[in-house]
Structure 1
């Protein structure tokens, strides 16, 4: 590690560290980046027991322990945003930038419409694992395949789209995590600066439904709207994501 501040980037459920590929070059000169693939996901560590958000977060925390790091800046999307909040709750975050974080439902609640959409997407991907990748060479195919998580899925390269599809199919923990009865408990006194950045065109967690809940669970957070992007904003506008992360960190250190 260098004397640059450490920044951990956490991806969403069924994805991998590759979700941040277009953001990493925009941050690499300013931060020591830690970009893991979550446990139970394609290319990530295996989970010894059941797949839970707590267990996946434990693995991310162990990564910090293994690097000898106490608290770092953390940015995360969807599941990764939820994990970032949980790591802050454990005292492991210097700042948090949560992009459309998950977990904003009631404890022990069965999957609602949002998680049901993701479960259907996973089942469809499993059923078309050999048919879909060839269609990714067309911009229209990428846009249709990514329509639930991005406004401009066609901006992905063919290689990125195929990798994302393979990550979805290869995520062993997907069904357990999408069926979790865990939730994000309120964090009324923030241990560090927290920005909640919501995608204006989020079709998975629509802002009109989920932002009011997020404000109740994280009343001390700074809330910003991200124009022109979908649930995984790193696809639509990596520069906007990088700026939002930097602003969060500067807000906490300025």
Structure 2
């Protein structure tokens, strides 16, 4: 069952309390999982039990997403604001330099955690900020349209659409190559998470400037991209490899932007291989 952890964080106005919801399973070396913008920890559900066979797996609702509270006042939703909060979260969870895997926004945060020396290894699945300006505008347009659709559809309509494979494809086909594999309950829950995320707008705005331009030479880094990613085209993986030349670049055949649903066994293997 998900749990909520409270921990102190520094803000310009003094110490404040952050509250983050997480799901923790298994035992072994800690592995933290970070979802993408507008999603929640349940994005990792298809791979959780596979990973938990050998690892202490912690899937996190990022602040301002899922069931986690928004960031305390004074902390921005940019990298400089979020990374220290995640570092404080690790300390509160009792994990020191965990392995981390992230998807999209979570992939960017995983790379930034690696650059900050806060993690032992990084696996980034279709991480953000390896785009051209045209690709960024396209991605932001797609994400904004998904958010607008989620907010416009009444919950009973979402529930009705989610009952059928065609409806699930209409609701989630942008991020999944195989949306029919999602259960109706999962589609309803993630549509609600996208609709209600208080951190969505600020996080999107924070991502409108800057590219990831830093090598991460001292830890293992894996960057993986789905061949059917409709949000961030897989050519961005080649750019990522140029920026982080020591990274292992992995192709995920038949997978979309959120590949954990499309091929759980492959994604779990990539994460476990990358973290040693």
Q: TM-score, normalised by structure 2?
A: 0.84
Residue in 2 aligned with 1:249?
275
- RMSD value over aligned CA atoms? 2.1
Do structure 1's residue 9 and structure 2's residue 33 form an aligned pair? yes
State the SS of the aligned residue for 2:50. helix
2:126 matched to 1:100?
yes
Output the CA distance in 2 between the equivalents of 1:184 and 1:72. Answer: 25
| Matches of 1:124 and 1:3, distance apart in 2 | 39
Match of 2:171?
145
Equivalent of 1:24 in 48, 58, 65: 48
Deviation at 1:110, TM superposition (A): 10
Q: 1:60 to 1:45 in 2, by over 3 A?
A: farther
Aligned to 1:134: 160
Please list the CA deviations of residues 74-95 of structure 1 after superposition, one character each: whole Å capped at 9, or x if unmatched: 1110001100001111111111
C-alpha contact 1:53 1:177 (8 A) present in aligned 2:
no
Within 2, Cα distance between the matches of 1:134 and 1:57? 39
2:232 to 191, 196, 205: 205
Q: CA deviation at 1:182?
A: 4.3
Q: Which runs of 5 or more residues in structure 1 are unaligned?
A: none
From the superposition, tell whether residues 60 and 129 of structure 1 become closer, same or farther in structure 2 (CA, over 3 Å).
Answer: farther
The alpha carbon displacement at 1:216 in A equals 2.6
- Return the alpha-carbon distance in structure 2 between the equivalents of residues 139 and 106 of structure 1: 34
Matches within 5 A, 1:58-73: 58-73=84-99
Partner residue of 1:118? Answer: 143
Per-residue CA shift, 1:151-202, capped at 9, x if unaligned? 1101011111111101100111112212223444322242210000001100
| Contact 2:103–2:127 (8 Å) recurs in 1 | yes
The CA deviation at 1:146 is 1.1
Q: Per-residue CA shift, 1:45-102, capped at 9, x if unaligned?
A: 3212343243233322211111233211111100011000011111111111110001
Q: Distance in 1 between matches of 2:222 and 2:216?
A: 14
Q: Which has the higher contact order (CA 8 A, sep 6+)?
A: 1
Moved more, 39-48 or 159-168: 39-48
Q: Distance in 2 between the 1:104 and 1:218 partners?
A: 11
2:223 to 180, 188, 196: 196
Asked whether the 8 Å contact 2:27–2:53 carries over to 1, the reply is no
Instruction: Give the Cα separation in 1 of the matches to 2:109 and 2:211.
Output: 9
Q: What is the CA–CA distance in structure 2 between the aligned matches of 1:27 and 1:14, rounded to whole Å?
A: 23
Structure 1: 4+ residue segments shifted above 4 A: none
